[in-house]
Amino acid sequence: MRFRKLLFDADGTLWDFNASARLSIGNGFKRRGYDYPDTVYKRYEVINKGLWERYERGEMPRDRVLVERFELLFAELGIQEDAAAFENEFRQGLEENPIWMEGAEDLLRRLRPDYEIYIVTNGVGDTQRRRIALTGLDRYVDGIFISDEIGAQKPQGAFFDYVLSHIGPCETQELLLIGDSLSADILGANHAGIPACWFNPERLPLSGSAHPDYEIHALPDLMTVLTAPAS
Ligand SMILES: [Mg+2]
Protein backbone atom coordinates (compact mmCIF):
# COMPACT_ATOMS: atom_id res chain seq x y z
CA MET A 1 0.00 0.00 0.00
CA ARG A 2 1.43 3.33 -1.05
CA PHE A 3 -0.02 5.57 1.67
CA ARG A 4 -0.14 4.45 5.29
CA LYS A 5 -1.10 7.55 7.23
CA LEU A 6 -3.81 9.98 6.20
CA LEU A 7 -3.96 13.54 7.49
CA PHE A 8 -7.43 15.03 7.17
CA ASP A 9 -8.39 18.66 7.50
CA ALA A 10 -11.71 19.01 9.37
CA ASP A 11 -13.64 22.18 8.47
CA GLY A 12 -14.74 22.19 4.86
CA THR A 13 -13.32 18.69 4.36
CA LEU A 14 -14.87 16.25 6.87
CA TRP A 15 -17.34 18.83 8.16
CA ASP A 16 -19.65 20.80 5.92
CA PHE A 17 -19.18 24.37 7.02
CA ASN A 18 -21.88 25.69 4.65
CA ALA A 19 -24.46 23.29 6.03
CA SER A 20 -23.68 24.44 9.58
CA ALA A 21 -23.89 28.08 8.52
CA ARG A 22 -27.21 27.52 6.76
CA LEU A 23 -28.63 25.82 9.84
CA SER A 24 -27.29 28.38 12.29
CA ILE A 25 -28.72 31.35 10.36
CA GLY A 26 -32.01 29.50 10.00
CA ASN A 27 -32.17 28.93 13.75
CA GLY A 28 -31.60 32.65 14.33
CA PHE A 29 -34.37 33.57 11.89
CA LYS A 30 -36.81 31.08 13.37
CA ARG A 31 -36.10 32.21 16.94
CA ARG A 32 -37.07 35.71 15.85
CA GLY A 33 -40.18 34.53 14.05
CA TYR A 34 -39.03 35.14 10.47
CA ASP A 35 -39.51 32.86 7.50
CA TYR A 36 -36.34 31.25 6.20
CA PRO A 37 -36.73 30.35 2.54
CA ASP A 38 -33.67 29.04 0.61
CA THR A 39 -33.23 32.44 -1.01
CA VAL A 40 -32.10 33.98 2.31
CA TYR A 41 -29.04 31.77 2.66
CA LYS A 42 -28.19 32.23 -1.01
CA ARG A 43 -28.22 36.01 -0.55
CA TYR A 44 -26.13 35.66 2.61
CA GLU A 45 -23.53 33.65 0.68
CA VAL A 46 -23.26 36.35 -2.00
CA ILE A 47 -23.01 39.18 0.53
CA ASN A 48 -20.55 37.27 2.72
CA LYS A 49 -18.28 36.40 -0.20
CA GLY A 50 -18.23 40.01 -1.42
CA LEU A 51 -17.25 41.31 2.01
CA TRP A 52 -14.46 38.74 2.49
CA GLU A 53 -13.09 39.76 -0.90
CA ARG A 54 -13.02 43.37 0.32
CA TYR A 55 -11.25 42.17 3.48
CA GLU A 56 -8.66 40.35 1.40
CA ARG A 57 -8.05 43.54 -0.60
CA GLY A 58 -7.43 45.32 2.70
CA GLU A 59 -10.54 47.48 2.35
CA MET A 60 -12.31 46.34 5.48
CA PRO A 61 -11.29 44.97 8.90
CA ARG A 62 -12.34 41.43 9.79
CA ASP A 63 -14.63 42.47 12.66
CA ARG A 64 -16.51 44.76 10.29
CA VAL A 65 -17.07 41.91 7.80
CA LEU A 66 -18.62 39.73 10.50
CA VAL A 67 -21.30 42.25 11.45
CA GLU A 68 -21.84 44.02 8.14
CA ARG A 69 -22.81 40.77 6.37
CA PHE A 70 -25.90 40.62 8.58
CA GLU A 71 -26.55 44.36 8.44
CA LEU A 72 -26.67 44.12 4.63
CA LEU A 73 -28.78 40.95 4.68
CA PHE A 74 -31.31 42.46 7.10
CA ALA A 75 -31.43 45.71 5.11
CA GLU A 76 -32.22 43.77 1.92
CA LEU A 77 -34.96 41.84 3.69
CA GLY A 78 -36.39 44.93 5.42
CA ILE A 79 -35.72 43.39 8.84
CA GLN A 80 -34.91 45.51 11.90
CA GLU A 81 -32.57 43.44 14.03
CA ASP A 82 -29.33 43.87 15.94
CA ALA A 83 -26.77 42.50 13.48
CA ALA A 84 -23.96 42.26 16.06
CA ALA A 85 -26.11 40.17 18.42
CA PHE A 86 -27.20 37.97 15.52
CA GLU A 87 -23.57 37.49 14.47
CA ASN A 88 -22.65 36.34 18.00
CA GLU A 89 -25.47 33.83 18.03
CA PHE A 90 -24.57 32.73 14.52
CA ARG A 91 -21.01 31.91 15.45
CA GLN A 92 -22.05 30.10 18.59
CA GLY A 93 -24.46 28.11 16.44
CA LEU A 94 -21.63 27.19 14.08
CA GLU A 95 -19.68 25.75 16.98
CA GLU A 96 -22.61 23.81 18.32
CA ASN A 97 -23.83 22.39 15.01
CA PRO A 98 -21.02 20.66 13.19
CA ILE A 99 -22.40 18.59 10.29
CA TRP A 100 -20.61 15.80 8.47
CA MET A 101 -19.67 16.43 4.87
CA GLU A 102 -21.59 14.11 2.58
CA GLY A 103 -19.83 10.75 2.50
CA ALA A 104 -17.27 11.67 5.17
CA GLU A 105 -18.29 9.31 7.94
CA ASP A 106 -18.73 6.44 5.53
CA LEU A 107 -15.30 7.12 4.05
CA LEU A 108 -13.61 7.11 7.47
CA ARG A 109 -15.33 3.85 8.35
CA ARG A 110 -14.00 2.26 5.17
CA LEU A 111 -10.47 3.58 5.68
CA ARG A 112 -10.22 2.83 9.38
CA PRO A 113 -9.05 -0.81 9.14
CA ASP A 114 -6.29 -0.09 6.62
CA TYR A 115 -4.88 3.32 7.47
CA GLU A 116 -3.79 5.42 10.38
CA ILE A 117 -5.99 8.49 10.35
CA TYR A 118 -5.14 11.89 11.85
CA ILE A 119 -6.95 15.21 12.02
CA VAL A 120 -4.95 18.36 11.26
CA THR A 121 -7.07 21.42 11.90
CA ASN A 122 -6.62 25.16 12.35
CA GLY A 123 -8.86 26.42 15.11
CA VAL A 124 -9.49 27.02 18.78
CA GLY A 125 -8.76 23.97 20.93
CA ASP A 126 -11.92 23.94 23.07
CA THR A 127 -14.15 24.63 20.08
CA GLN A 128 -12.65 21.93 17.90
CA ARG A 129 -12.64 19.35 20.72
CA ARG A 130 -16.31 20.05 21.39
CA ARG A 131 -17.18 19.69 17.70
CA ILE A 132 -15.16 16.50 17.45
CA ALA A 133 -17.13 15.07 20.38
CA LEU A 134 -20.47 16.22 18.91
CA THR A 135 -19.83 14.47 15.59
CA GLY A 136 -18.05 11.46 17.12
CA LEU A 137 -15.11 12.08 14.81
CA ASP A 138 -12.71 10.81 17.51
CA ARG A 139 -14.03 7.27 16.99
CA TYR A 140 -12.30 7.11 13.61
CA VAL A 141 -8.92 8.67 14.25
CA ASP A 142 -5.55 7.87 15.78
CA GLY A 143 -4.66 11.44 16.67
CA ILE A 144 -5.92 15.02 16.59
CA PHE A 145 -3.73 18.05 15.96
CA ILE A 146 -5.23 21.49 16.59
CA SER A 147 -3.26 24.63 15.73
CA ASP A 148 -4.30 26.44 18.91
CA GLU A 149 -2.88 23.64 21.07
CA ILE A 150 0.32 23.33 19.04
CA GLY A 151 1.08 27.04 18.84
CA ALA A 152 1.48 27.01 15.08
CA GLN A 153 -0.99 26.70 12.24
CA LYS A 154 -1.17 25.34 8.73
CA PRO A 155 0.61 26.16 6.42
CA GLN A 156 3.47 26.93 8.85
CA GLY A 157 6.35 24.48 8.86
CA ALA A 158 6.27 24.35 12.68
CA PHE A 159 2.75 22.88 12.56
CA PHE A 160 3.81 20.06 10.25
CA ASP A 161 7.08 19.48 12.14
CA TYR A 162 5.01 18.93 15.27
CA VAL A 163 2.63 16.53 13.51
CA LEU A 164 5.46 14.55 11.92
CA SER A 165 7.22 14.14 15.25
CA HIS A 166 4.04 12.80 16.91
CA ILE A 167 2.71 10.24 14.45
CA GLY A 168 5.50 7.71 14.69
CA PRO A 169 8.34 7.08 12.29
CA CYS A 170 7.46 7.15 8.60
CA GLU A 171 8.57 8.54 5.27
CA THR A 172 6.71 11.68 4.22
CA GLN A 173 5.87 9.87 0.98
CA GLU A 174 3.77 7.41 2.99
CA LEU A 175 1.55 10.26 4.13
CA LEU A 176 -1.32 11.86 2.28
CA LEU A 177 -2.91 15.11 3.38
CA ILE A 178 -6.52 15.72 2.33
CA GLY A 179 -7.86 19.27 2.64
CA ASP A 180 -10.00 21.92 0.99
CA SER A 181 -7.73 24.93 1.46
CA LEU A 182 -5.01 25.56 -1.10
CA SER A 183 -3.31 28.20 1.05
CA ALA A 184 -3.39 26.30 4.37
CA ASP A 185 -3.55 22.57 3.60
CA ILE A 186 -1.99 22.07 0.20
CA LEU A 187 0.69 24.73 0.45
CA GLY A 188 1.65 23.52 3.92
CA ALA A 189 1.90 19.93 2.72
CA ASN A 190 3.94 21.03 -0.30
CA HIS A 191 6.47 22.77 1.92
CA ALA A 192 6.63 19.81 4.30
CA GLY A 193 7.16 17.37 1.42
CA ILE A 194 3.88 15.56 2.08
CA PRO A 195 1.76 14.41 -0.87
CA ALA A 196 -1.47 16.41 -0.96
CA CYS A 197 -4.97 15.81 -2.23
CA TRP A 198 -7.11 18.89 -2.79
CA PHE A 199 -10.75 18.33 -1.89
CA ASN A 200 -12.46 20.78 -4.21
CA PRO A 201 -16.22 20.16 -4.19
CA GLU A 202 -17.01 23.54 -5.71
CA ARG A 203 -14.58 22.93 -8.58
CA LEU A 204 -12.73 26.18 -7.99
CA PRO A 205 -9.89 27.05 -10.34
CA LEU A 206 -6.37 26.35 -9.08
CA SER A 207 -4.86 29.59 -7.76
CA GLY A 208 -1.84 30.76 -5.79
CA SER A 209 1.38 28.80 -5.48
CA ALA A 210 0.02 25.51 -4.06
CA HIS A 211 0.47 22.34 -6.12
CA PRO A 212 -1.95 19.55 -5.27
CA ASP A 213 -0.74 16.09 -6.26
CA TYR A 214 -4.33 14.93 -6.55
CA GLU A 215 -7.71 16.62 -6.78
CA ILE A 216 -11.10 15.16 -5.89
CA HIS A 217 -14.57 16.70 -6.09
CA ALA A 218 -16.36 14.24 -3.78
CA LEU A 219 -14.98 12.44 -0.74
CA PRO A 220 -15.66 8.86 -1.96
CA ASP A 221 -13.28 9.60 -4.86
CA LEU A 222 -10.43 9.44 -2.37
CA MET A 223 -10.64 5.65 -2.66
CA THR A 224 -9.52 5.97 -6.28
CA VAL A 225 -6.51 8.06 -5.27
CA LEU A 226 -5.53 5.59 -2.56
CA THR A 227 -5.77 2.53 -4.76
CA ALA A 228 -4.15 4.05 -7.86
CA PRO A 229 -0.72 2.64 -8.71
CA ALA A 230 2.17 4.95 -7.77
CA SER A 231 3.10 7.16 -10.69
MG1 LIG B 1 -10.68 23.34 5.68
**pLDDT, tens digit, for every residue of 164-219?**
999 999 999 999 999 999 999 999 999 999 999 999 999 999 999 999 999 999 99
| Each residue's pLDDT tens digit, 107-166 | 999 999 999 999 999 988 988 999 999 999 999 999 999 999 999 999 999 999 999 999
CA of 179 to the centre of ligand 1 (A): 6
Give the pTM.
0.86
Same-domain status, 123 and 169: yes
Domain count of the chain? 2
CA of 221 to the centre of ligand 1 (A): 18
| Residue numbers of the domain that contains 112 | 5-16+101-227
CA of 30 to the centre of ligand 1 (A): 28
User: Residue 83's domain is classified under what CATH number?
Assistant: 1.10.150.240
CA of 13 to the centre of ligand 1 (A): 6
Backbone conformation region of residue 9, classed left if phi is above 0, alpha if psi is from -120 to 50, else beta: beta
Distances in Å between the Cα of 178 and the Cα atoms of 84, 129, 174, 213, 225 are 35, 20, 13, 10, 11
CA of 175 to the centre of ligand 1 (A): 18
How many residues are there in the chain? 231
State which residues have CB under 5 angstroms from ligand 1, the bound ion: 9, 11-12, 180-181
Same-domain status, 88 and 105: no
Same-domain status, 30 and 86: yes
Catalytic residue IDs: 9
